[in-house]
Amino acid sequence: MRIDVRWMAWMAAVTAMTATPLAAAEIAGTSAISAVTIFSRGAEITRSAQLKIAQGEHVIVFKDLPAQAIDGSIRIEGRSTGRLDIGSVDTRRVEIPRLDPAVSQSERRKLEEAIEKLQDERAIVAAEVEAAEAQKRFVEGLVTLPTRPAAKSGETAEKIEPWSDIFALIGSRLADAEKTRLAASLKVRELDRRIADLERALSDLAPVEDARTEVRVKITTAAALEANLLLRYQVPSASWQSLYDARLMTGARNVAPSLVLVRRAAVQQRTGEDWRDVALTLSTARPANGASAPTLESAVVDFMPETPPPRPVASAPAAQADRARRAAEERAGEASVAADKRQDEEFAVGEQQASVEASAYQARFDIPGKTTVLATAEVKRVLIDQATIEPSLVVRAVPRLRTQAYLYAKLAAPKTTAYLPGVISLFRDGTYVGSGKLPLLSPGQEHEIGFGADDSVRVRYATVEDKRGESGLISSQQTDTRAFRMSLKNMHERAINVSVQDNIPTSRQQDIKVELTGKTPPTRRDVDDKRGVLAWDALLQPDEERQIDFGYRVSWPTGKRIIYGR
């Protein structure tokens, strides 16, 4: 039986191809940033890629993600015109040259040829400089001619040697040589500058490696299709902070006051890539703060270690050793106490941070239109929203410290989303009056904002009585008696609520008694949970003046001294 060797070789090749699985083909994926969600710290980036994919197994390679993309946050999703199954998503850090090697090599060759040409030209000009300097040295040497014999009687020096012509020639030649040397030196300097510029351009063409994150997506398709893939990942170097404008219109006699609260955001990022014309979303979520509460460790309290009795003094060195050992033990005890204090302090700080960061308020603000944020940490300000609020105005004063009234607007936060802490700029009747800080406000929470001095409310303060004496039949008590008078006058065209505050001392000892005196009792005591702080609230009509008389009496046993403090 005759066997065709060529046919057997062809069959073997076909068998090998069917028995060995083909390697998945790589597809270079190019994506562009389409949307960004920024958190208080960090951001989530969404990139989109349009691909045409043939049937079979493929590996799509994306090399345009920044180096600081968090590996665990990378996700792939999207839509396609046919069935597309994602098998695996692998990531790694790679170094990619910023310039095309072929283009870079061509540019380098051009620059190198230009530098060589300039260097040849410089060598020629440098030779001209050397020739001019040599000519100058030669002409200067003519000045030192050998001494000639003295002229004979009846002959002049001009008849023996034409010295005037020689000196004129020397001067002319020296001037020409110096002029040639200076011109050539200037040309050398200009050539050196041009060569230096080209050498810097040549160094800039050196291949620079840029760190990126490479994503390899293994997929399988049942048929040729088109796909729109979305790559989502988070980066740490981005943030946004709340900024506010509070614009108060104080109104008039028949016009109620109004307040417009404008909320903005200051956005900045250094992620290594610019966000150009993206859909920007601001989120109050805090993924950078972790998902679980911190864990407390056990705290203990113990006695300080007792100092052992000193040993008999045998010698001066032994006594010194004992003293050193006792000092070390005392330091150890102090360190133990300090460690316990630090544990207490850390516990307090931890609780405080947890109470602030445990806010359940989360919201997303979609900024209308497209926004560009460059990766230069430059602050980008965008508008979130604004709300018109009907405030209630109140004038506050603390005459003991300053005889000046201040206007406040009391408002309730809109019942939409929480207002995060931030700097607030204050405008009263269209005039900027200062800035302050807005705390975290939950929806509907009340808050007061100060809008500067109110010169239409006059405040006065006077001390009516201040004396020290004794009381009791046998003078068993000493007393301090003090009385004050505060007055306020409303010069507005409409009625205004006023609130005046002062304080009286509070006792830390049972034997020291403090009694509130005066004809005008306070409306509120221990304002804002501060002991001894008093407040008088009233509604003043136009041109009405209100007088507040109050004071206090402090008594304590005779023979003891008291001090006033905080």
Q: Which helix (H) or strand (E) holds 529?
A: none
Q: What CA–CA distance (Å, rounded) separates 157 from 149?
A: 10
Three-class secondary structure assignment of 253-317: CCCCCEEEEEEEEEEEECCCCCEEEEEEEEECCCHHHCCCCCCCCCCCCCCCCCCCCCCCCCCHH
Q: What pLDDT shows up at residue 254?
A: 84
Q: How many helices (H) and strands (E) does the chain have?
A: 5, 26
Strands 545-557 and 457-471: unpaired
Q: Would you say the C-alpha torsion 238, 76, 67, 374 has a positive or negative sign?
A: negative
124, 137, 190, 472 from 128: Cα distances, Å:
7, 14, 15, 116
pTM of the model: 0.60
Q: What pLDDT shows up at residue 167?
A: 64
Ranges of the chain with pLDDT below 70: 1-24, 96-105, 139-171, 205-209, 288-291, 302-304, 307-362, 471-475
62, 204, 207, 289 from 102: Cα distances, Å:
22, 15, 11, 46
Domain extents for the chain? 22-98+210-235, 101-148+157-204, 298-360, 457-557
Q: What CA–CA distance (Å, rounded) separates 434 from 411?
A: 19
Q: What pLDDT shows up at residue 2?
A: 44
Whether residue 437 contacts residue 421, with contact meaning beta carbons closer than 8 Å, is answered with yes
Q: What CA–CA distance (Å, rounded) separates 365 from 26?
A: 39
Whether residue 476 contacts residue 504, with contact meaning beta carbons closer than 8 Å, is answered with no
Alpha-carbon 277 to chain mean position: 23
DSSP string, 486-500: EEEEE-SSS-EEEEE
CB-neighbour burial class of residue 454 (10 A; exposed 0-12, middle 13-18, buried 19+)? buried
Phi/psi for 70 (5° steps) reads -75, 120
Q: What pLDDT shows up at residue 142?
A: 64
DSSP 527: G
Whether residue 378 contacts residue 268, with contact meaning beta carbons closer than 8 Å, is answered with yes
Q: What pLDDT shows up at residue 349?
A: 26
Q: Is residue 11 helix, strand or coil?
A: helix
Whether residue 563 contacts residue 500, with contact meaning beta carbons closer than 8 Å, is answered with no
What residues are paired with 397 via a beta bridge? Answer: 500
The tokens for 121 are 């030209």
Phi/psi for 184 (5° steps) reads -65, -40
Q: What pLDDT shows up at residue 323?
A: 58
